[in-house]
Structure 1
Amino acid sequence: MARKNAKKILVILSEYGYWGEELVGPLHHFDQRGYEVDFATPTGKRAHALPPSMDPEYIDPPLGKSVTSEKVAELTRRIDASDRLDDPIDIAGWLPERPYTADDGYLRKLEAYHHAVDTVAQELDAYDALLIVGGSGPVVDIANNERVHQIILAFLAADKPIAAECYGVTPLAFARDWENRGRSIIYGKHVTGHCKEYDYKDGTGFLGTDFVIGPPPYPLEYILRDATGPEGRYHGNFGKETSVIVDYPFITGRSTPDSYLTGEKVVEVLEDGLRRFGW
Structure 2
Amino acid sequence: MPKQILVVLSEYGYWGEELVGPVEAFDAAGYRVTFATPTGERAHALPPSLDAEYIDPPLGRSVTTRDMARRARELDESSRLDNPLSLADLIPERPYYSALNHLRELEDYHARRDAAVLDLVTGFDGLVIVGGSGPIVDLANNERLHELVLAFVSADKPILAECYGVAVLAFARDVESRASLLWGKHVTGHPKEYDYKDGTGFLGVDFNMGPPPYPLEYILRDATGPDGGFHGNVGKETSVIVDYPFVTARSTPDSAPSGALMVEVLDNGLRRHGW
TM-score normalised by the chain length of structure 2: 0.99
SS at 2:259 equivalent: helix
2:159 to 157, 162, 172: 162
Instruction: State the distance in 2 between where 1:74 and 1:126 align.
Output: 32
Aligned to 1:257: 253
1:229 to 225, 236, 240: 225
SS at 1:194 equivalent: coil
**Deviation, structure 1 residue 131:** 0.3
Instruction: State the distance in 2 between where 1:92 and 1:118 align.
Output: 15
SS at 2:59 equivalent: coil
**Deviation, structure 1 residue 121:** 2.0
Q: Do the aligned residues in 1 keep the contact of 2:91 with 2:117 (CA within 8 Å)?
A: no
Aligned to 2:239: 243
Q: Do the aligned residues in 1 keep the contact of 2:133 with 2:200 (CA within 8 Å)?
A: yes
Matched, 1:57 2:74: no
Matched, 1:268 2:264: yes
Instruction: State the distance in 1 between where 2:117 and 2:145 align.
Output: 12
1:171 to 168, 171, 190: 168
Matched, 1:143 2:156: no
SS at 2:76 equivalent: helix
Number of aligned residue pairs: give it: 274
Instruction: State the distance in 2 between where 1:231 and 1:81 align.
Output: 43
**Deviation, structure 1 residue 157:** 0.6
**Deviation, structure 1 residue 104:** 1.1
**Deviation, structure 1 residue 29:** 0.5
Unaligned segments of structure 2, at least 5 residues: none
Report matched runs for 1:10-49 at 5 Å: 10-49=6-45
Aligned to 1:108: 104
RMSD of the TM alignment (CA)? 0.6
What CA deviation, in whole Å up to 9, does each residue of 1:152-179 have, x standing for no partner?
0010010000110000000100000111
TM-score normalised by the chain length of structure 1: 0.97
Instruction: State the distance in 2 between where 1:29 and 1:83 align.
Output: 19
SS at 2:61 equivalent: coil
Instruction: State the distance in 2 between where 1:86 and 1:218 align.
Output: 31
Instruction: State the distance in 2 between where 1:221 and 1:187 align.
Output: 14
